[in-house]
């Protein structure tokens, strides 16, 4: 499985959305699937990122008490 950075995912999503808007038509089925996959991967990446930040903040709060 390919691992993408947040920046890469955002760029790929943006490019596919732009292509869709510029052509003023639907993407191919494969492109629609890719767009959905990239959106889900980005969402998952961000959820994990925020979980790590929350864990760190909770540890910091405990340390400051």
pTM higher than 0.75: no
Examine residue 58 and state whether it is found in any structural domain, yes or no: yes
Examine residue 13 and state whether it is found in any structural domain, yes or no: yes
Examine residue 41 and state whether it is found in any structural domain, yes or no: yes
Examine residue 1 and state whether it is found in any structural domain, yes or no: no
Residue-wise pLDDT tens digits, 9-64 = 999 999 988 888 886 667 778 888 888 999 999 998 888 887 777 777 777 766 55
Phi, psi of 48, deg, nearest 5: -65, -40
The number of folded domains in the chain is 1
Examine residue 60 and state whether it is found in any structural domain, yes or no: yes
- What does the alpha-carbon distance between residue 31 and residue 38 come to, in Å, rounded to a whole number? 10
| Residues 6+ positions from 5 with CB-CB distance below 8 Å | none
Examine residue 2 and state whether it is found in any structural domain, yes or no: no
Two structure tokens written together for 45: 């990446």
């Amino acid at each position: 499985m390919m691992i993408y950075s947040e920046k890469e995912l955002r760029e790929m999503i943006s490019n596919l959305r732009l292509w869709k808007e510029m052509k003023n038509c639907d993407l191919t089925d494969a492109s629609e699937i890719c767009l959905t996959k990239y959106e889900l991967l980005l969402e998952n990446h961000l959820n994990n990122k925020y979980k790590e930040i929350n864990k760190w903040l909770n540890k910091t709060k405990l340390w400051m008490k």
